[in-house]
Structure 1
Amino acid sequence: MSSPAVETSDVVIIGAGAAGLMCALTAAARGRRVLVLDHANKAGKKILMSGGGRCNFTNMYTEPADFLSHNPHFCKSALARYTQWDFIELVCKHDVPYHEKKLGQLFCDRKASDILQLLLVECAESGAEIRLDTAIEQIERSDDGYRLATSAGEVACQSLVIATGGLSIPTLGASGFGYQIARQFGHNVLPTRAGLVPFTITDPQLKALCAELSGTSVDCMVSCNDKSFRENLLFTHRGLSGPAMLQISSYWHSGDSLEINLLPDRDALDWLTGQQAERPNIELKTLLGEVFTKKMAGLLCELWCASKPLKQYTPGELQAVATQLSAWRLVPAGTEGYRTAEVTLGGVDTREVSSKTMESQKAPGLYFVGEVLDVTGHLGGFNFQWAWASGHAAGEVV
């Protein structure tokens, strides 16, 4: 009996997410025969749930400084060659209505499926084939590229692109498969951890405060390890969330304290001293109730100091209150982990990958794009822009 025929393709891309689909449509538009394989039953699952179902598909102010990596210069080349304006042009070509929410964050007016649909249409029009429900069982080098044993038979290709993403949100099919492949071909994989993720609090007093204020959002400046973000903080039953906390979580390590300024627009001591002179009889919790919710004001006073008329505070006591309001220090117990994390920090060491083409320097014809690499963007559309830019960079050469 003859052995089953081996299917051949110029390019095989593992992973039908943002980076994989961008790579596929770019390569296929150059006339390459492209096959995208994914173990999931649907392409772009993370695209569909992103941005609360509206997909924050890029950021108008994208710059290399918005990304974390052990090799910070790596992302510059790809981001410069496929910019946010290039992707916006593609969005406009497909008549997808969008709006800026704030801080340059662009969202679909309707739903995230508009972005997935435009990628799938571009793939179809350029001839890239997408095959779902297909597990990769084995990968090995061959004389002229790579051979893959899959649940749908054997496939041979010249160029193999790993676009498998990271470990965040395993319920959507995330796994460490890409890191496994990288190690198989001699790559160093830097330690991974959850990024853009809420914090958990176990300190009884603090946890009670968070639970009582669950659903309350407040503008703040949060700092950790010489990095600061001005955004909203959201109290939850389990701890602290909201854009400010998600942003700083990427810079936080276990045991680090967070410093939160609840009055980012004013000097807390100057304000309290001024109020003490102008309104000596007002109670502290009443005054704070003009800035925060009455409930939050009362609970903060219970946590930090007894509320009394401002005239009864000594300069030292007022200083202590000001410090709590402008430099509230707390140590989270941990984070919610990969279960709810938007991204995975760490990954394939970019010092072993070409910043121009995304090709492995260890194994010719092997490419890495998107989140599997040690490049992580801030919250606000930056991780999608990295997916588009890195996928495009590889798509131009595979």
Structure 2
Amino acid sequence: MNQHDVIILGAGASGLWAALTAAKRGRKVLVVDHARKAGRKILIAGGGKCNFTNIELSAANYHCKNRHFCKSALARFTPWHMVEYLSLHDIPWEEREHSQLFCTRSAEDITYALYNDCLEENVRFLFSEQITSVQKNDDLFDVTVTGGRHSAPSLIVALGGSAWPQVGATDAGYKLARQFGHKIIPTFPALVPLMMPSNWKCKNLSGIALPVSISCNKKQYTENMLFTHKGISGPVVLQISAHWKKGDALEIDFLPHASLETLLEESGSTLLLKTVLKRTFPERLAVALIPSELGEKQIAQLSKKDLLALHAAIHAFKVTPTGTEGLKKAEATGGGVDTDSISSKTMESKLCQGLYFTGEVLDVLGDLGGFNLHWAWASGNAAGESV
């Protein structure tokens, strides 16, 4: 049996950062992954440019049953730690809208740097290995993989969530957590496009994009929305999807930065309503939102009832999605290992000494915009400092 100080299951963002942090402290580290190389999700994050953090980050950007859980790890590993890491490796980066930071060239820059830093610190990697058994005997975790058996007093589970199964994501981390007595908060696809009823008013608008505001369950986001063949997508939809549950209605404001009433007043009394709306919205959307008989009226002919109906259609459009596009289209997984039984300082299990959980396998979901990847770094750092 091969003896190590730390075994890390998963060579993604949190696993790599935990490995590097632990190895720099002199630990003998083994990283095991069923993929053929490290950082598969990092490589496709942010459209291949890796939205690696967000400089406006705070604990308020994270959703967890225990709303205080993230605070300790985030306080000790800030966005500027990542900026410093990229600077040390001469990796160019840029700030985009909403304070998102991206690699200028490619996500490969970060993956390559992390992997090679780990190798320089004598981290050992085993790729294309299936985990067949994990047991704890006395003070050691025994991990059996297709290529042999390994043991260590510390085990970090950095296996991620179930989103993006097409790049190898599985539910193995949740199964392992249950094996050691941990409760799993029910998981769901998050940051995901939503599907709409086949008979909804906007079913033939695929390809149209515009800024909107969407509200659901006391949460509201304003950003671009894209109509798709199946429903709606775009940043604002991905954000609100984290708060939507089956059966919930969405309220969409198609004119979030202006008032319809003011728009009509400024357009003059003789213009037809359809003329005004076609100047304001893409024509197909304008036609879909209002009844044709209303569109033929002049502004001055609109009754109070007409104006109320218009306000509801433009500023408070209600629709109930039929579902999400599922884990294959989700950018993250909601739910996961219940943080009530995890140390917020070290990521160590309160139920099993020496067992740690990092990254997306935990019940921690960040907003869209680099927050989930930063949680991977921060939680990996916390575990790496403790093992």
Would you say the 8 A contact 1:304–1:321 is kept in 2?
no
Kindly indicate whether the alpha-carbon contact (under 8 Å) linking 2:289 and 2:313 is maintained by their aligned counterparts in 1. no
Whether the 8 Å contact between 1:286 and 1:297 is mirrored in structure 2 is: no
Partners of 1:388 and 1:193 in 2: how far apart?
Answer: 22
| Deviation, structure 1 residue 302 | 4.6
How far did residue 177 of structure 1 move?
A: 0.4
Amino acid at match of 2:230: R
Structure 2 unaligned spans of 5+? none
1:286 touches 1:294 (CA, 8 Å); kept in 2?
no
Whole-angstrom CA distance in 2 between matches of 1:291 and 1:205: 22
CA distance in structure 2 between the aligned counterparts of 1:271 and 1:286, rounded to whole angstroms: 12
- Given candidates 337, 347, 358, the residue that maps to 1:348 is 337
**Which residues in structure 2 correspond to 1:108-147 (within 5 Å)?**
108-147=103-142
Q: Given the alignment of the two structures, is residue 203 of structure 1 paired with residue 192 of structure 2, yes or no?
A: no
- Is 1:185 the counterpart of 2:174? The answer is no
Q: Is this contact kept in 1: 2:12–2:38, CA < 8 A? A: yes
Write the mapping of 1:330-349 to structure 2, written as runs, cut at 5 A. 330-349=319-338
2:85 to 69, 90, 112: 90
Is the contact made by 1:285 and 1:294 (CA closer than 8 Å) also made in structure 2? no
- Give 1:305 deviation, angstroms: 4.7
Separation of aligned partners in 2, 1:309 and 1:42: 64
CA–CA separation in structure 1 for the residues paired with 2:247 and 2:280: 31
1:229 equivalent in alignment to 2:218: no
Matches for 1:274-293 after TM superposition, within 5 Å: 274-275=265-266, 278-293=267-282
Letter in 2 for 1:325: I
1:308 to 297, 300, 306: 297
- Shift, 1:306, TM fit: 4.0
User: Match of 1:251?
Assistant: 243
Most deviating of 263-272 and 20-29: 263-272
Task: Quote the residue 2:211 is aligned against.
Answer: 219
* Count of matched residue pairs: 387
Identity of aligned residues (%): 47
The DSSP-based 3-state class of the residue aligned with 2:119 is helix
1:194-218 residue CA offsets vs partner (Å, 9 max, x unmatched):
1000000123133xx33x3212111
- Partner of residue 312 from structure 2, selected from 297, 311, 323: 323
Structure 1 residues 205-263: Cα deviation after superposition (integer angstroms, max 9, x where no partner): 33xx33x3212111111110000011111100110000000000000000000011111
* Structure 1 vs Structure 2 CA RMSD: 1.4
Q: What is aligned with 2:47?
A: 52
Displacement of 1:303:
8.0
Quick one: structure 1 residues 249 and 307, their matched pair in 2 at CA, closer, same or farther if it must change by over 3 Å?
A: farther
4+ runs of 1 displaced by more than 3 Å? 302-307
Query: Which of 79, 103, 107 is the matching residue for 2:98?
Result: 103
Secondary structure, counterpart of 1:339 in structure 2: coil
Amino acid at match of 1:288: L
Residue 376 of structure 2 aligns to a residue whose secondary structure is helix
Gaps of 5+ in 1: 1-5
Q: Could you tell me how far apart the structure 1 residues matched to 2:62 and 2:272 are?
A: 45
